[in-house]
Amino acid sequence: MAKGKKIKQAKSKTITLKVAQNCVELTLDGIRRLNLSFKEVVTVPKCIQKLCEMDELDLSRNLITKVPDFIDNFIRIRVLDLHSNYLEELPLTIGRLQSLQVLNLCNNRLTSLPSEIGLLRSLQTLNLGINRLESLPSSISALKELRHIGLSDNRFTRVPGCLRKLSNLESVNLDRNPMAIEEVPSNESLMMAERFYLVQESDLCKDCLNKCQIERKNVEDVENRKETLLGTSDLVTQENREM
């Protein structure tokens, strides 16, 4: 999604309750997902409140500028996908989603997060990549179940201190932030070397996919150079021994 693109209200589509009901998916393991991705909507349809018993809600790749306060009606959802929209802020009611395990906010226009996000005590995966964030609220440190957090392509100049308090954190992606190397700590809980992407290729918009593919190629090139250097070093060592 091009961030410079202007949102044209005339292109927004209307989602009726009947349309929304036809977008409900049931997985083989019994998970109920409301999939409203790629619907060209600017606002979240009010009618979906009648479908609040869903386990997963996908509103990604739309033109949504605001998450409505009634999002807290979806108290059962474990996955909320809002990536590739035009969100600039989140409602305070986001903190009431106590069952939420995965929150994908990648590729939006967020400049800050409400402190209420620290109330998501079941959250395990949080993707905030490709936004305009410079800091995280200290309440993030209360997310004791958080294991993966994506912060790439933002405006962080240092590692958020609240991450050091997350003992279960397994991976952090801070790629492509204006951060000096010395700001990256050698803390075992912050595995900076690990590249972590929170969505599959089929779920990414074209721009995001291109960025991921370029980054993957860069990582592979570095690994190949390391292997070449190690191979050369071993060969020189062997020749010296033979001499």
Per residue in 144-171, pLDDT (tens digit) is: 999 999 999 999 999 999 999 999 999 9
Please give the pLDDT value at position 181: 64
What distance in Å separates the CA atoms of residue 29 and residue 112, rounded to the nearest whole number? 36
Q: Is 230 within a domain?
A: yes
Residue 21 counted as domain residue: yes
Number of domains in the chain: 2
* Residue 3 forms part of a structural domain: no
Which residues form the domain of 121? 9-198
Residue 116 falls inside a structural domain:
yes
Residues 190 and 216 in one domain: no
Residue 2 lies in a domain: no
Say if residue 175 is in the same domain as residue 136: yes
Residue 47 and residue 87 in one domain: yes
Identify the DSSP state of 175: T
Question: Which DSSP string do the residues of 111-130 spell out, in sequence order?
Answer: S---GGGGG-TT--EEE--S
Query: What number of other Cβ atoms are within 10 A of residue 129's Cβ?
Result: 28
Residues 29 and 79 in one domain: yes
How high is the pLDDT of residue 231? Answer: 58
- Buried b or exposed e, range 200-226, using 16+ CB within 10 angstroms: eeebbbeebeebbeebeeeeeeeeeee
Same domain, 151 and 210: no
- Asked whether residue 191 falls in the same domain as residue 210, the answer is no
> Which pair of structure tokens corresponds to residue 76?
């059962």
Q: Domain check: are 154 and 48 in the same one?
A: yes
Residue 134 and residue 37 in one domain: yes
CATH number at residue 137: 3.80.10.10
The number of residues making up the chain comes to 243
Same domain, 226 and 134: no
The answer to whether residues 84 and 142 belong to one domain is: yes
Residues 176 and 239 in one domain: no
In a domain, 4, yes or no: no
One domain, residues 153 and 216: no
- Assess if residue 1 is contained within a domain: no
Instruction: Give residue 201's pLDDT.
Output: 55
3-state helix, strand, coil split of the chain in percent (to 5) is 35, 10, 55
Q: Which residues of the chain have pLDDT under 50?
A: 1-5, 7-10, 186-200, 233, 236
Please tell me the distance from the alpha carbon of residue 214 to that of residue 165, in angstroms, as a whole number: 32
113 in any annotated domain: yes
